[in-house]
Amino acid sequence: MAYEHIKLAVADGVATLTLCREPLNVLNIAMMKEMNQALDTLSPAGLKVLLIQAEGKAFSAGVDVGEHLGDQVHDMIEVFHGIFRRMEKLGVVTVASVQGAALGGGCELAAYCDLVVASAKAKFGQPEILVGVFPPVAALVFPRQMGYKKALELIVTGDVIGAEEAKAIGLVNQVVAPEELAEATQTLVGKLVGLSGLVLSLTKKAVVRGLMDEKEQGLQLIEKIYLDELMPTADAEEGLRAFLDKRKPQWTEK
């Protein structure tokens, strides 16, 4: 199947999904629908690894802010979170190869992957709070990966951190020189491909169950807060419109 904003290749037990909406790989609804369509074509049978990578200078600068407004936000959340639900259902080990900025939804996409290899030039951050909203998927996975205090700090400050700090707090597994990213990613994937696919998937399942981690239930609760309590507020509307208008938001809730 031909896609406009992504590429999908499957070979030797590895499905490689490449973001190619340059320069920043901003995730609009059309692109995310393609990602969901691509994931729907995959079967865990014979698949050991899902690798997510990107072309261009950024891994992804996040979800299109303009598609957060009005009724569109419901469609946006459905297709965006559909990516993670499909990744979860697939059940194989997921790897993100991050060459540049991973911000907002782009950071959430990388963080949701089981393993992350990053270029030393990569940056990670959730700046949603600066435009009057919060990142639902980061709210789900950050505390599990780095603990409550650091997770909340990154989410409520919107700070952007470098690859080495991301590694230090558990967001990234490996940091390499930019020119070594492709090789390092393939080395990691190669280790996984050399193992039993069934054992890999059961091992991942056991680790997740060992955490007593009901991500679907958690995501549903977070979605309800986001859509039913946050998005109807004046400040959410103001923050998003201010970003699009390139001006400082004027908050009404003190």
Active site residue 108: yes
Active site residue 237: no
- pLDDT per position as a tens digit, 28-84: 999 999 999 999 999 999 999 999 999 999 999 999 999 988 889 999 999 999 999
- State how far the Cα of 180 lies from the Cα of 36, in Å rounded to an integer: 30
Q: Does the 6-178 domain belong in CATH 3.40.190.10?
A: no
Count the helices and strands in the chain (H runs, E runs). Answer: 10, 10
CB hemisphere CA count around 59 (13 angstroms): 32
| Entry pTM | 0.96
Burial of 173 (0-12, 13-18, 19+ CB in 10 A): middle
The per-residue pLDDT for 254 is 66
Identified catalytic residue from 88, 128, 216, 223 = 128
Residue 232 binned pLDDT confidence (cut-offs 50, 70, 90): very high
Identified catalytic residue from 34, 108, 153, 180 = 108
Residue 196 CA to chain centroid, in angstroms?
Answer: 26
20 close to 56: Cβ distance less than 8 angstroms: yes
- pLDDT per position as a tens digit, 58-72: 999 999 999 988 889
